[in-house]
């Protein structure tokens, strides 16, 4: 939550200046797509605010290309994390997720099975924990891919077209604020909804 909020509060003017510079000399589409894919692919090891990245992708690249880039990056990140959790087990999982988070994901998984991947996908921290959890418990690839790939597409589509609409209506600041606020709201709901033991 702090990764999302603090930079925006502390560096709002710099972010605005950076965005104005970006608009004046934007990178090419292949470069922008590569940056987006790279950032979202590394989400499991770095605290990447994926909602913000996806919104910026929609602002700069448009809804369609932004969605494709974000969807690709999100899927790569999830697939790599899942494969590593399956392969290396608890030693790998414990490096990237807290036991309390995994336990709370387990409580939802016991009730909803692989649908936990859909329920957690938009909530920072728990999205990654759910992927690691099902990998640790060796969910089959088929049962893993369908909910993750589908939910990643919906999230990418939502944030990217939201970003494009905001850019077309001169509402970039509103879009950035919403892209920060929505995941914070989701993680707060998840934290208070899940059992604590």
pLDDT tens-digit series, residues 69-80: 999 999 999 999
Chain-centre distance of CA 155, in angstroms? 8
Q: What does the pLDDT read at residue 62?
A: 94
Would you state the pLDDT for residue 89? Answer: 84
The DSSP line for the chain is -HHHHHHHHHSHHHHHHHHHHHHHSPPPHHHHHHHHHHHHHTTTTS---HHHHHHHHHHHH-HHHHHHHHHHHHHHHHHHHHHHHHHHTHHHHHHHS-HHHHHHHHHHHHHHGGGHHHHHTTSTTHHHHHHHHHHHTT--HHHHHHHHHHHHHHHHHHHHHHHHHHHHTT-HHHHHHHHHHHHHHHHHHHHHHS---
Q: Is the model's pLDDT at 83 over the cut of 90?
A: yes
- Say how many C-beta atoms besides its own lie within 10 A of residue 109's C-beta: 21
Q: For residues 127 and 142, is the Cβ–Cβ distance under 8 A?
A: no
pLDDT attached to residue 90: 83
| pLDDT digits 0-9 by tens, 8-65 | 566 566 666 766 676 677 778 899 999 999 999 998 777 788 998 999 999 989 999 9
pLDDT higher for 116 or 161?
Answer: 161
Confidence of residue 2 (pLDDT cuts 50, 70, 90): low
Q: What is the dihedral of CA 112, 117, 118, 124, to 10 degrees?
A: 130
User: pTM (2 decimals)?
Assistant: 0.83
The residue with tokens 């590394």 is 42
The string of pLDDT tens digits covering residues 85-143 is: 999 988 888 777 777 777 777 877 877 788 889 988 888 878 888 999 899 888 999 99
In this predicted structure, the answer to whether residue 6 has a pLDDT above a threshold of 80 is: no
How confident is the model at residue 105, as a pLDDT? 79
Tokens of 10: 């502390």
Higher pLDDT, 127 or 149: 149
Q: Note the pLDDT tens digit of each residue in 164-196.
A: 999 999 888 888 888 877 887 887 777 676 655
């Amino acid at each position: 939550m702090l990764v999302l909020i603090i930079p925006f509060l502390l560096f709002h003017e710099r972010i605005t200046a950076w965005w104005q510079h970006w608009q004046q000399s934007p990178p090419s589409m292949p470069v922008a797509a590569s940056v987006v894919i790279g950032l979202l692919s590394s989400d499991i090891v770095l605290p990447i605010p994926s909602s913000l990245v996806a919104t910026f992708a929609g602002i700069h690249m448009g809804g369609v290309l932004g969605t494709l880039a974000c969807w690709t990056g999100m899927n790569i990140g999830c697939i790599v994390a899942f494969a590593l959790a399956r392969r290396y087990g608890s030693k790998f999982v414990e490096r990237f997720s807290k036991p309390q988070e995994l336990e709370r994901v387990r409580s939802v998984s016991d009730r909803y099975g692989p649908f936990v991947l859909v329920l957690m996908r938009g909530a920072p921290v728990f999205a990654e924990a759910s992927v690691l959890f099902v990998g640790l418990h060796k969910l089959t690839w088929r049962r893993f891919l369908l909910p993750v790939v589908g939910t990643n597409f919906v999230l990418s589509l939502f944030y990217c077209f939201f970003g494009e609409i905001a850019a077309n209506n001169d509402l970039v600041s509103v879009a950035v604020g919403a892209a920060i606020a929505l995941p914070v709201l989701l993680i707060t709901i998840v934290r208070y909804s899940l059992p604590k033991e």
